[in-house]
Structure 1
Amino acid sequence: MVEYFDAGTSRSVPWSQRAEAAKLLAAAADPDRGFDAVVVGEFERAFAAGQALSIIAQLNAYGVQVWLPELRGAVDLAEPEHRAVLLMLGHQSEREVLRNRFRTTAAMAAQVREQGRNLGGRPPYGYQLVDAGPHPNKIHASWGRRRHRLDVDPVTVPHVKWIFSKRLDGWSTAAIARTLNERRVPSPGAYDRARNPHRQDAVWTLRTVAAILANPRYTGRQVWNRQFTDHREAVPGDRRSSLGPVRVWSDRAEWVVSQERTHPALISDEDFMAAQEITAIAMPDDERNRSYALTGLLICGLCGRRLASHWNRKPAYRCRHGHTTAHPVAEGAPKWVYWTQERLFQTLQAARLDLAELHDANDLAAHLKADDLVIVCGLGELVIEPSVVEPGEEPTVEAEVAEAPADEPESGCGQLSLPIPPGFRRQDRRPRLRNAVVIKQRWKARNPTRHHVKRE
């Protein structure tokens, strides 16, 4: 008699991916295996859903019988009653998974809401984990396990308070992140290097600052279920159909918040709510939506990126060459490419005869989309080229250059001091909306459940 038992392995994992189950299948395929039957002690731990039918059929092909206590003997797949029992046990196994999941999540929610328990995970930036006595479960306490709670970290707590104070003063998240980088304050990834060995050059970003400002745990209350792991299963409960786990933010209504304060607060409830109001998107004074006619049709002549829309009392476009406002500008870096929509349209219309009959930027955008063209901006000039350039080929359309007027100030467009690097410009410059159907088909193939995943 030989025993095969997988400890700590989910029942939804295929047998070929379980250590002991895979050994059992390999041994059963050996003609000199030394056994003729397999006795399954607990069906719910061995199979899930319809796994039993395929595994039993595979073992029977090797000449090995499968015995179940529920059938009081060997399983015969030719018997309809046996197949019905297997299907019933498979559904019962799935039901047990759902019941355990519900009981576990309900117990964890009660521990946080009523007891303020810390259920694990890394502490927020500004806190550290300290000992809180023996584990409340006597069995776990006998094993030497201890409870933990959050306490202030004297090294990082001044930075958290400074972030909230500057936010209440009206600072943007970009200004806060840029100032922290200039002051060389260690970011959460750089400070906790043991938990972040994969982040070599961890710096402050807009998202890092925004996550701190939106974390209600800084008010002294314990919060749980802010995120959950979505396995993206095409068949619910079947890990074999998973597209890979991702962390997804839960709705705020599903967050579990402790009734009492469980650790020292770094900000009051009133100031925290005021900081959340500052993060709201402000509406323009004229209460009108801002539209940019040439979005996706402008390419930077230096780096190949698309120009981003920018409002400066009127529609404009700029390229910062990958620079983010959270980081200081390096010395000697080329100036940003900047074109207002009005000036860009007037410059092109004055230089090209085929654009003389166009009335505004909307007509120019329609003309470019109809002929599959884009505008390459940079070095004080505008060049109209095909949206797709094959590698090693030059544009086939005669590109007319519209140079900036001599009396135009330098700030009117980016004066790039570097030439266009050969081969550095992106080859595929077609506007993204033209690939909407292809992108949607690829998304459906990667995500059969049609679930919009919000990544962390």
Structure 2
Amino acid sequence: MKHTAVSLGREASRSAGSRFAFYGRVSTEDNQDPEASRAWQIRRARALIEPKGGEIVAEFFDVDKSRSIPWIRRPRASALIEELKKPSRRFDAVVIGEPHRAFYGNQYSLTFPLFEHFAVPLWVPEVGGPIDPANEAHDMIMGVFGGLSKGERNRIKIRVRSAMAAITATEGRFLGGRPPYGYELADVGPHPNPAKAANGKRLRRLVPHPAYSLVVKWIFAQYIKQNGKGLGDIAEELTRQGIPSPSASDPGRNPHRDQVAWSKMAVRTILGNPRYTGREVWNKQRKDEVLLDVDDVALGTTTVMRWNDRDQWVWSENQVHDEIVSIEDFERAQQIRQARARGEYSKRGNPTRRPYVFRGCLFCGYCERKMQGNWNNAQAYYRCRFPDEYALVNNLEHPKVVYLREAEIIGPVEEWLATGFSPERIAATIETMATQATARPDEAAELGKRLAACDRKLRQYRQALEAGADAAEVTGWINQVSGERQRVKAGLEAAPRAPRRDVVSREEIVRVLEQTGDLVRVVLEADPLDKADLFKEMGLWMTYYPQKRLVEAQVIPGPPHVRSVCVRGGYEPVRQTPIPLAASLPFPEVA
């Protein structure tokens, strides 16, 4: 039912003495105290409504969420919106203590129509009561606050970046974070800011580690000498000698990393770090905000880390800590890296015209790493190369190379997709899903959240690869998260299950499977070059178990804003459902 401005104004006039829901938000990026921030925001809200008989009966407070994130992607704000839609909601109006915290940019214009539609007054201190949708001054004030909020955030970013650049160039001060491998931190006196010094803050500087600095020198020497070793050879030699990797050398600060062996990414990172020359360097990377969906701007943006060109790096004017590698040797290493790269040096992955249908979807059952495409004898293969040294350190019985021919699995996969998700199988699939619909106790639920977080990170890292991030570095991140995912999955499978109370309705499942069936038909008719993107968009995840001679496949559709695909030939975009589904199929033995 459409609610007019007049009806909303009447609701607002009756809201005095009614029940209120409070909304607030705090971001911990700048070390804000969530409890203190909530306290002053709710105090300001109560000062507005209590003189008029209002009472707060429900709270929706987002913690650690940037103001740039739209309401539909803030957990508590989206929960508030869902409450607005319920006729039996616990409150009659909503009060916000600080509009700067709640609205950013055009978020007010995208959110307030919901309050107007459901006839729920929105109170803010800046207008002295409920917002009147027919009052142009109210609308202008709230729009100004959104613009001021965005401007404030941008000014903070500019000030911080300018200060960091100036400190790096003129003072060469250590700017925080983990010290590079080969260095350790030493105290050099109180902080120059008197307030921070009074709180015990100290300045630090980098000093060479007595043992690991020699490893860094050895890596550069082996790489830049005539007919020097490659990244893989250096990593394998260090692992063979039992030298601790960067994460293993400081396990207390790297609990999230695999501390088992050297990787090519670790060696490459060391060879590309200019801080070994004794100078402080800043601005090697930047954070870009990119749209989640170009067809739905209201979903907002996500932050993507990208590498800056070398001419944008900020170097200290003078040497500020002891060097481990001379500038000449460092520059020589960069020249060799460029010379060994294919064509013009780039941090982007090497593009291929080979139609690897399962690119990014196939993983090794031994080590959980993504299998790489390999073209051999005019056919597509997938392989996982695992050096002996890595297998020994990881206590894995991993063959040196695992091969799988694409032609042996493409038929079973397409047959499974054609039959398992066809309209004729909807009833059987519904029964299977209803049987498996369970909810886990608190411990298992927490493991489920951690597993979902690992999956999100893996998707983000793959998006970073597509956006042009350093392939070697991102691959290392993916391997680390894959290992964590394997451990969490094992714990989740061992956790007990309890009957589920919030089962997805059968109508929703039918709608989901019908949409999935449409996507399957598109996949089967697509050009081979398009199938890889389509399989990724539909959430295909395959694991090859060489020891069992089988492949296991799962399809887990994702949220609609990240599952939008379009292929050659004029197909319309096909959107998946936000309801997470999974189906698995063990394939027959392959040759």
Taking structure 2 as the reference length, the TM-score comes to 0.49
Please report the RMSD computed on the Cα atoms of aligned residues, expressed in angstroms.
5.1
The answer for the alignment partner of 1:91 in structure 2 is: 147
1:260 alignment partner in structure 2:
318
Partner residue in 2 for 1:162: 218
Partners of 1:129 and 1:149 within 8 A in 2: yes
Distance 2:535 2:123 in 1: 49
**Corresponding residue SS for 2:252:** coil
Report the counterpart of residue 399 of structure 1 in structure 2: none
Output the CA distance in 1 between the equivalents of 2:535 and 2:413. Answer: 21
Shift of 1:435: 2.1
Task: State how 1:169-248 maps to structure 2 within 5 Å.
Answer: 169=225, 170-234=228-292, 241=299, 245-248=303-306
Q: 1:184: how far off?
A: 0.8
- 1:323 counterpart residue number: 385
Name which of 423, 429, 435 aligns with 2:531: 435
Residues in 2 aligned to 1:307 and 1:37: alpha-carbon distance in whole angstroms:
55
Q: Does 1:106 align with 2:168?
A: no
Greater mean deviation of Cα atoms: 432-441 or 180-189:
432-441
The CA deviation at 1:250 is: 2.2
Residue 61 (structure 1) shift: 3.8
Distance 1:104 1:13, change over 3 A: same
Deviation digits for residues 333-388 of structure 1, max 9, x if unmatched?
A: 768699xxxxxxxxxxxxxxxxxxxxxxxxxxxxxxxxxxxx959xxxxxx86842
Report the CA distance shift for 1:268/1:101 in structure 2 as closer, same or farther (over 3 A).
same
Alpha carbons 2:372, 2:383 under 8 Å: kept:
no
**Secondary structure at 1:3 match in 2:** helix
* Residue 3 in structure 1 maps to residue 43 in structure 2: yes
Supply the distance in 2 between the matched residues of 1:184 and 1:209 (Cα, whole angstroms): 15
DSSP 3-state at the match of 1:211: helix
The one-letter code sitting in structure 1 at the alignment partner of 2:323 is A
Match of 1:423 in 2: none
Q: C-alpha displacement at 1:99, in angstroms? A: 1.5
Deviation at 1:145, TM superposition (A): 1.1
Equivalent pairs, count: 352
Moved more, 239-248 or 172-181: 239-248
SS of structure 2 residue aligned to 1:12: coil
How far off is 1:111 after superposition?
0.6
Matched ranges for 1:242-321 at <5 A: 245-282=303-340, 308=374
The alpha-carbon distance between structure 1 residues 321 and 82, as it changes in their structure 2 partners (threshold 3 A), is closer
Find the residue that maps to 1:128 and give its secondary structure.
strand
Distance (whole Å) between structure 1 residues aligned to residue 96 and residue 415 of structure 2:
66
Residue in 2 that maps onto 1:134: 190
- Is the contact made by 2:372 and 2:382 (CA closer than 8 Å) also made in structure 1? no
* Aligned equivalent of 1:75, options 124, 131, 135: 131
Please report how far the alpha carbon of residue 231 of structure 1 lies from its aligned counterpart in structure 2 after TM superposition: 4.8
Sort the Cα spacing of 1:260 and 1:247 in 2 relative to 1 into closer, same or farther, 3 A. Answer: same
CA contact under 8 A between 1:243 and 1:446: conserved in structure 2? no
| Per-residue Cα deviation, 1:398-436 (whole angstroms, up to 9, x for no partner) | xxxxxxxxxxxxxxxxxxxxxxxxxxxxxx9x9963526
Task: Pick 1 or 2: higher relative contact order, CA cutoff 8 A, min separation 6.
Answer: 1
State the shift of 1:235 in Å.
8.4
The within-5 A match list for 1:398-417 is none
Note the C-alpha offset of 1:151.
1.1
- Distance in 2 (CA, whole Å) between partners of 1:376 and 1:79 is 68
Q: Secondary structure at the match of 2:215?
A: helix
Alignment correspondent of 1:118: 174
CA contact (8 A) 1:38 1:64 kept: yes
Bigger drift between 160-169 and 45-54 goes to 45-54
Distance in 2 (CA, whole Å) between partners of 1:21 and 1:243 is 17
Q: How does 1:340-359 map to 2 (within 5 A)?
A: none
SS in 2 for 1:279: helix
Deviations 1:322-343 (A, max 9, x none): 22458468799768699xxxxx
Alpha-carbon contact 1:4-1:20 (below 8 Å) kept: no
Structure 1 residues 131 and 388, CA, compared in 2 at 3 Å: closer, same or farther?
A: same
Residues 121 and 130 of structure 2 are in contact (CA less than 8 Å); yes or no, is this contact kept in structure 1? no
Flag structure 2 segments of 5+ consecutive residues without an equivalent.
1-39, 46-60, 343-351, 358-363, 417-522, 540-559, 565-591
For 2:415 and 2:101, locate their aligned partners in 1 and report how far apart those are by CA, in whole Å: 59
For residues 196 and 160 of structure 2, what CA distance do their matches in structure 1 show? 17
CA pair 55-245 structure 1, distance change in 2 beyond 3 A: same
Contact between 2:388 and 2:400, CA under 8 Å: does it hold in 1?
A: no
- C-alpha distance 140-293 of structure 1, shift in aligned 2 (>3 A): closer
TM-superposed CA distance for 1:261, in Å, is 0.8
Larger radius of gyration: 1
Kindly state the Cα deviation for residue 186 of structure 1 after the two structures are TM-superposed: 0.6
Is the Cα contact below 8 Å between 2:104 and 2:146 reproduced in 1?
Answer: yes
Q: Which structure has more helix as a fraction of its residues?
A: 2
Q: How far apart, in 2, do the equivalents of 1:258 and 1:208 lie? A: 25
Change (3 A) 1:139 1:320: same
Conserved? CA contact 1:305–1:319, under 8 Å: no
Q: Is the 8 A contact 2:293 2:299 kept in 1?
A: yes
Q: 1:110/1:263 Cα in 2 relative to 1: closer, same or farther (>3 Å)?
A: same
Aligned mates of 1:434, 1:235 — CA distance in 2: 20
Extract unaligned runs of 5+ from structure 1. Answer: 285-291, 339-374, 378-383, 394-427, 449-456
Q: How far did residue 14 of structure 1 move?
A: 5.4
Cα displacement (A) at 1:200? 3.9
Paired amino acid for 1:322: C
CA contact (8 A) 1:44 1:93 kept: yes
Matching residue within 200, 203, 210 for 1:147: 203
